[in-house]
Amino acid sequence: MSKLVLVVILLIIGLITFNHALSIEAEWTNYKQKYNKNYGLKEDAERFEYFKDSLRRIEEGNAKSIREGSSFRMGVNHLADISPEEWRIMSHGVRMP
């Protein structure tokens, strides 16, 4: 009986993980359509990783705000798929030697 329960629990965890992955893929597709983003296969994979990192930071930041009783919330915008280097350049400017 305990083996059956363990198998069922593992299947549920697997389905939840799979469903979450599909949800993120759908968000990525919607994001690209909304902001008219078009990438080749290699760049799309790289940008998707940056996008997932942004989603994680947004979720963590919003969870922290909720815990602290703050009304501040972050969300996805047109910059959610940029690299950390691109962000540094955009937010701090290019520093000349």
Q: What is the pLDDT of residues 63-90, one digit of tens each?
A: 998 999 999 999 999 999 999 999 888 8
What local confidence, expressed as pLDDT, does residue 92 receive? 79
Q: What is the pTM of this model?
A: 0.72
CATH code: domain of residue 22: 1.10.287.2250
Q: Which domain holds residue 36?
A: 2-92
Q: Is residue 69 part of a domain?
A: yes
Alpha-carbon gap, residue 18 to 87, rounded angstroms? 30
Q: Is residue 30 part of a domain?
A: yes
What local confidence, expressed as pLDDT, does residue 93 receive? 66
What local confidence, expressed as pLDDT, does residue 22 receive? 56
Q: Is residue 72 part of a domain?
A: yes
Q: Is residue 97 part of a domain?
A: no
Q: How many domains does the chain have?
A: 1
Q: Is residue 26 part of a domain?
A: yes
User: Tens digits of per-residue pLDDT, 45-70?
Assistant: 999 999 999 999 999 999 998 999 99
Q: Which helix (H) or strand (E) holds 97?
A: none
